[in-house]
């Protein structure tokens, strides 16, 4: 039996690449979530009117990799102190967010954030939002497994 986890941590190409090869991850797909526009396109999301974040939906086998393990990878793969940006990518679609699929995931995510905050590892305040998972709108086909299809390149 697999479970789902959904994370937003900047450009979804790199985030998907981070998760897709982990032992216990069965599948990944990139898309848009957390906003108010139905069937958004990449242009809609980049236009800052949809409210959606670029996100990665991870299907995983919890007997091999735990949700907490995935959260640890999430915290390590981006800067959770940057508001609405990651590196050179700026905009609300690049926000840091955990979209939980159950009360248990919410609890584990909140505890994980508190542990990271208390660790003193980060010098700034964590701005990651923890929100209920909403409809996940799959991104256009050319975005799926982008790094794998393009030798890790970013296309610019």
SS3 state of residue 112? helix
**CA distance linking residue 14 with residue 150, whole number of Å:** 12
Alpha helices by DSSP H, the chain: 12-20, 42-46, 67-76, 103-119, 146-149
Q: Strand 85-86 and strand 89-90: pairing?
A: antiparallel
Q: Catalytic: which of 11, 46, 77, 154?
A: 11
Active site residue 77: no
Cα–Cα distance between 15 and 88 in angstroms, integer? 15
CB neighbour burial string for 96-112, b if at least 16 within 10 angstroms, e if fewer? bbbbbeeeebbebbeeb
Residue 113 near residue 93 (C-beta atoms within 8 A): no
Cα radius of gyration rounded to whole Å, the chain: 15
| Positions marked catalytic | 11
């Amino acid at each position: 039996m697999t479970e789902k986890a959904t994370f937003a941590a900047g450009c979804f190409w790199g985030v998907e690449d981070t998760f897709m090869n982990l032992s216990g991850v069965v599948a990944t797909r990139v898309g848009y979530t957390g906003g108010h526009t139905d069937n958004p396109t990449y242009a809609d999301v980049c236009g800052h009117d949809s409210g959606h974040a670029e996100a990665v939906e991870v299907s995983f086998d919890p007997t091999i990799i735990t949700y907490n393990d995935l959260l640890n990878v999430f915290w390590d793969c981006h800067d959770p102190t940057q508001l609405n940006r990651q590196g050179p990518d700026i905009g609300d679609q690049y926000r840091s967010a955990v979209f939980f699929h159950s009360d248990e995931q919410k609890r584990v995510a909140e505890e994980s954030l508190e542990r990271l905050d208390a660790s003193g590892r980060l010098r700034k305040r964590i701005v990651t939002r923890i929100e209920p998972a909403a409809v996940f709108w799959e991104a256009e086909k050319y975005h799926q497994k982008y790094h794998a299809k393009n030798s890790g390149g970013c296309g610019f």
